[in-house]
Amino acid sequence: MECSRCEKPAVIHIRYSGANLCEKHFKDFFETKVFKEFRKQVDLGRGKDIGVAVSGGKDSIVALKMIHEILKDRRDSRVFGITIDEGIKDYRPKSLKIAEEVYERMGIDYQIVSFKEKFGYTLDKMLGKERAGMPCSVCGVLRRWLMNKAAKKEGLDLLATGLNLDDTSQTILMNFCRADMKKMARLPPHKKVKEGLVPRISPLQRVTEKETYLYALLSDMEVHEQECPYAETALRGLYRDVLGELEDNTPGTKFSLLSSYEKVKGPLQEKYDGEKELGRCKKCGEPSMNEKCKACQILEKIE
């Protein structure tokens, strides 16, 4: 299989575009898409302090590298890494080691925030409690709470995640199937700044999981490839399989979902953003739509 842009052997066939790309042209293709999406989401007219949520997996490591490349020569901007240690036995220690090595190699300042230190329990211990709830729901809420706190403490303007096209399209489909328009309206990237919340961006949302993995592989990046042991309990897996089958039969389905969402995001935000004023959790003081935020509600159940 020959590259569509030169005569070198192709390393990937991109079904949704029909292109075959060699290593060089694939890297150019990938970086151009990510850089373009980053600049679409971030106004660099003024300096920005950007946090990157880094787990040690391929998506977050690639996102960190891309943002570092964009900002490394700017004196008015900086990159700061935030890594959450949930305390998942035989899983998280390996990824923490990789994340720290990458930070040190790139010369990026970072902070590791631990469930055990902040909440008194590891995620493993929490899930052993009778009323804890579903693993991914508990972990997701508490991780976001910790990341937002850490980003505010560091004085960051934005918080970047490694969500790719697969992740984003799955989330859109899940929320649509649940008719959860409020959650749809809150999906990143966030343009509007809300007091107490650091806006999130998703520079990888137009590249697929496969493309991200290949880019990391071709760039000799050390990444944590082990799947979280709690992932098999997540409903997201069903939507991943459904979307995978749709994509196989109709290449470009994931892009179509993202494009459709972007067309209705504005009206959704207009309807739901001002529907209820964002208050403060009476227990922790963090932003919340209710008397107590989701994080405090979860912690009360397991205490």
Return the CATH number at 163. 3.40.50.620
- Residue 62's pLDDT is 99
Digit-coded pLDDT (tens) for 197-238: 999 999 999 999 999 999 999 999 999 999 999 987 778 889
In a domain, residue 263? The reply is: yes
For tokens 């700061």, name the residue: 80
Residue 2 main-chain phi, psi, to 5 deg: -100, 145
Query: Could you tell me the pLDDT band of residue 262, with boundaries at 50, 70 and 90?
Result: very high
Q: What is the pTM of this model?
A: 0.94
In a domain, residue 11? The reply is: no
Rounded mean pLDDT, 245-257: 97
- Residue 278's pLDDT is 84
Rounded mean pLDDT, 38-56: 95
In a domain, residue 23? The reply is: no
- Residue 108's pLDDT is 98
Q: Look at residue 222 and give its three-state secondary structure.
A: coil
**Nearest CA among 266, 264, 253, 239 for reference residue 171:** 239
Digit-coded pLDDT (tens) for 108-144: 999 999 999 999 999 999 998 867 788 999 999 999 9
In a domain, residue 25? The reply is: no
Angle, CA 239 vertex, CA 129 and CA 265 arms, to 5°: 100
Structure token pair of residue 92: 């998280």
Query: What Cα–Cα distance (Å) separates residue 175 from each residue in 172, 181, 206, 249?
Result: 5, 7, 19, 23
In a domain, residue 40? The reply is: no
- Residue 275's pLDDT is 59
* H-helix or E-strand spanning residue 25: helix 23-41
In a domain, residue 13? The reply is: no
Q: Are 212 and 163 in contact (CB under 8 A)?
A: no
Residue 24 in this model has a pLDDT that exceeds 70: yes
- CB neighbours of 150 closer than 8 A, spacing ≥ 6? 51, 82, 111, 113
Task: Please tell me the total count of domains within the chain.
Answer: 1
In a domain, residue 138? The reply is: yes
**Nearest CA among 233, 217, 234 for reference residue 225:** 217
Which structural domain range is residue 119 located in?
A: 45-302
- Residue 299's pLDDT is 94
Residue 173 in this model has a pLDDT that exceeds 90: yes
Mean pLDDT of the chain: 94
Query: Could you tell me the pLDDT band of residue 193, with boundaries at 50, 70 and 90?
Result: confident
In a domain, residue 12? The reply is: no
